[in-house]
Amino acid sequence: MLTNPRSDRVRSVRALQKRPVRSRTGRFAVEGPQGVREAVRYAPEQVVDLYVTPEATARYADDIVAPARAAGLWLHEASPQVLAAMADAEAPQGVLAVVARPDHALDDVLAAAPRLLVLLSHVRDPGNAGTVIRGADAAGADAVLVSDASVDVHSPKVVRSTAGSLFHLPVVTGLDVADTLDRLRAAGVRSYAADGAGTTLLPEADLAGPHCWVMGNEAWGLPQEVRERCDDVVRVPIHGRAESLNLAMAATVCLYASAQMHGSGPAAG
Amino acid sequence: MLTNPRSDRVRSVRALQKRPVRSRTGRFAVEGPQGVREAVRYAPEQVVDLYVTPEATARYADDIVAPARAAGLWLHEASPQVLAAMADAEAPQGVLAVVARPDHALDDVLAAAPRLLVLLSHVRDPGNAGTVIRGADAAGADAVLVSDASVDVHSPKVVRSTAGSLFHLPVVTGLDVADTLDRLRAAGVRSYAADGAGTTLLPEADLAGPHCWVMGNEAWGLPQEVRERCDDVVRVPIHGRAESLNLAMAATVCLYASAQMHGSGPAAG
């Protein structure tokens, strides 16, 4: 059992909290049973190392440990102190995985004839990014696209707030927004900027065909040149006195409007 | 100008970060221009004191200072150090108001023939509570009801995450859940538990008449006896592999489904 919280191994896992280290090593950490369970279940080929306390080994015997063993993953027993020293969260609940960053490409996403996508343009808040990934998963989106200059989706806070959804659908990162919009158009996917400046109200938007929601930065929204490059600019109606919805809420409302349209339309899959 | 960050006045404002002090004094603090602007605009009778730095006095001359003066509010110029010492947030952006807690009663809400309500039952996370209040406002809800044993909606984090919506619609606190459900029924308002255990899917729920969404705790949801006391238990459909939506997202999706139904129905107001 690993018991030394100051070992080189512990330091190297802890260092994955830093973006440059994640970039250099191509790895990130997943903390807590929910994320680790989904990683083991849906992306075992990406799991490099799994650290589990004796207590957690018993508690998650069926849903984490057994499937990890069956997949031939490298399982290390570690003391609670070692887990705490590795983790960003105050309580990683006895489970942590080091995972290789997947290499999803926009070409692969487009080749699979997607019907619902979301593109995050310069989204900076980890909670927002993670919540949108979770909402996109729940709404049945085919992938999440993330622009360069957005928050790193493999940072501990984003990973945590995706609640495992990071392993449920492809998340393509580092994209140039203008280039991505051009490639979406070439692939027959309409792009809809979700923005308070839109003149099309959400219930009137044409959500029947393949489309991609484009969400802007929390503070300044989408720049005009991005809005103009999109096929439409759509506004979530505000019925009360609120100025707006926050980014994650607006994205979820838009994605669920799309999901309902897809689910009830003739092309429902 | 107030310049002493250790004065009794500063200490007494800072003390409003503590729930017992808010209970005893019946006051709470609103930090930052967005919340303060909405308080001055929609609830000037509740504003006890307004603290503004010289820089913020210039910046918010039109949307905060002028309306505050017009309403006869007590406006104090204070140094940035004084503002920082008063505030919970790292950057209150030069504006802080001490506000009297309003005394909204369920009877008043029900007497106004509400069409859309949301009841938070044992919701503990400040960000979730604040986001639901903001979403309820945006969806045009008539009021937000909050059970006892929920987070204090006048805590700094909740106030901040409502983004001013706290002053846009009545928020009734300290309610007993079972009693509230009985009174809703007596008033002709149907209650819908939003819960993953529901057998009615959201698109199939009857949202035409007056109704109240009932949202449970982040971790354990709604207890069975509450679900059974509601008129229906409704599930937001999950199309992908996600286990669930988080509380604030689920509430927003439900509230917007109601808003769209109300907006397009024969009873649209």
Which residues have a Cβ under 8 Å from the Cβ of B15 and sit 6 or more positions away?
B21
Do the bridges between strand B27-31 and strand B95-100 make them parallel or antiparallel, or are there none, so unpaired? antiparallel
3-state secondary structure of A73: coil
- Name the residue among A140, A240, A246 with its Cβ closest to that of B169: A240
- Token duo for residue A54: 């004796």
Q: At which residue do the structure tokens 């949108």 appear?
A: A132
Report, in angstroms and rounded to the nearest whole number, the Rg of chain B calculated over CA atoms: 20
Q: B167-205 in b/e burial notation, b at 16+ Cβ within 10 A?
A: bbbbbbbebebeebbebbeebebbbbbbbeebeeebeeb
Instruction: Give the model confidence (pLDDT) of B74-105 as tens digits.
Output: 999 999 999 999 999 877 899 999 999 998 99
ipTM value for the complex: 0.90
- Give the whole-angstrom CA distance, residue B186 versus residue A51: 55
Which of chain B's residues have a Cβ under 8 Å away from the Cβ of A136?
A: 240
Q: Is residue B241 classed exposed, middle or buried when 0-12, 13-18 and 19+ CB atoms within 10 A define those classes?
A: middle
Q: At which residue do the structure tokens 């063993």 appear?
A: A69
Per-residue pLDDT of chain B (269 residues; tens, 9 = 90+): 999 999 999 999 999 999 999 999 999 999 999 999 999 999 999 999 999 999 999 999 999 999 999 999 999 999 999 999 999 987 789 999 999 999 899 999 999 999 999 999 999 999 999 999 999 999 999 999 999 989 999 999 999 999 999 999 999 999 999 999 999 999 999 999 999 989 999 999 999 999 999 999 988 899 999 999 999 999 999 999 998 999 999 999 999 999 988 765 444 33
Residue ranges and CATH numbers for the domains of chain B are 8-100 (3.30.1330.30), 106-264 (3.40.1280.10)
Strands in chain A per DSSP E: 27-31, 47-52, 75-77, 95-100, 116-120, 143-147, 171-175, 190-194, 200-201, 211-215, 232-235
Calculate the CA dihedral of residues A35, A41, A43, A48 and round it to 10 degrees. 70
Task: Give me the count of residues in chain A.
Answer: 269
- Token duo for residue B192: 């819908």
> Which of B246, B255, B258, B262 to mutate to test binding with chain A, by most A CBs within 10 Å of its CB?
B246
- Give the whole-angstrom CA distance, residue A2 versus residue A204: 58
- Residue A78: predicted pLDDT: 97
Closest CA relative to residue B2, chosen from B47, B74, B51: B51
Q: Are B189 and B111 a contacting pair, CB within 8 Å? A: no
> Which of B144, B249, B260, B264 to mutate to test binding with chain A, by most A CBs within 10 Å of its CB?
B249
- Name the residue among A34, A236, A242 with its Cβ closest to that of B137: A242
Look at B253 and A248 and tell me if their CB atoms are within 8 Å: no
Q: Are A230 and B147 a contacting pair, CB within 8 Å? A: no
Look at B249 and A246 and tell me if their CB atoms are within 8 Å: no
* Tally of CA atoms within 13 A in the half-sphere of A28 that contains its CB: 22
Look at B242 and A131 and tell me if their CB atoms are within 8 Å: no
Q: Is residue A269 classed exposed, middle or buried when 0-12, 13-18 and 19+ CB atoms within 10 A define those classes?
A: exposed
Task: Report the Cα–Cα distance between both ends of chain A, in Å, rounded.
Answer: 48
Closest CA relative to residue A125, chosen from A241, A30, A220, A266: A220
Tell me the backbone φ, ψ of residue B31, rounded to 5 degrees.
-110, 140
CB contact, 8 Å: B83 with chain A?
A: no
Closest CA relative to residue A212, chosen from A246, A249, A185: A185
Look at A239 and B140 and tell me if their CB atoms are within 8 Å: yes
Look at B264 and A136 and tell me if their CB atoms are within 8 Å: no
CB contact, 8 Å: A242 with chain B?
A: yes
Closest CA relative to residue A137, chosen from B243, B265, B197: B243
> Which of A245, A258, A262, A264 to mutate to test binding with chain B, by most B CBs within 10 Å of its CB?
A245
pTM for this one?
0.92
For residue A228, the surrounding DSSP H or E stretch is: helix A224-229
Look at A242 and B131 and tell me if their CB atoms are within 8 Å: no
Which residues have a Cβ under 8 Å from the Cβ of A23 and sit 6 or more positions away?
none
- Token duo for residue A20: 């440059």
Interface contacts (A, B; CB < 8 Å): 116
Q: Are B158 and B129 a contacting pair, CB within 8 Å? A: yes
How many CB atoms are located within 10 Å of the residue A246 CB? 24
CB contact, 8 Å: A94 with chain B?
A: no
Instruction: Give the model confidence (pLDDT) of A19-56 as tens digits.
Output: 999 999 999 999 999 999 999 999 999 999 999 999 99
Instruction: Give the model confidence (pLDDT) of A86-141 as tens digits.
Output: 999 877 899 999 999 998 999 999 999 999 999 999 999 999 999 999 999 999 99
> Which of B144, B252, B255, B261 to mutate to test binding with chain A, by most A CBs within 10 Å of its CB?
B252
Q: Per DSSP, what are the bridge partners of residue B119?
A: B145, B214
Q: Per DSSP, what are the bridge partners of residue B232?
A: B192
Look at A165 and B141 and tell me if their CB atoms are within 8 Å: no
Specify the DSSP class assigned to residue B210: -
3-state secondary structure of B213: strand
Q: Are B214 and B119 a contacting pair, CB within 8 Å? A: yes
- Token duo for residue B189: 């308002």
Following DSSP, what letter does each residue of A89-132 receive, concatenated? SS--TTEEEEEEPP---HHHHHHT--SEEEEE-S---HHHHHHH
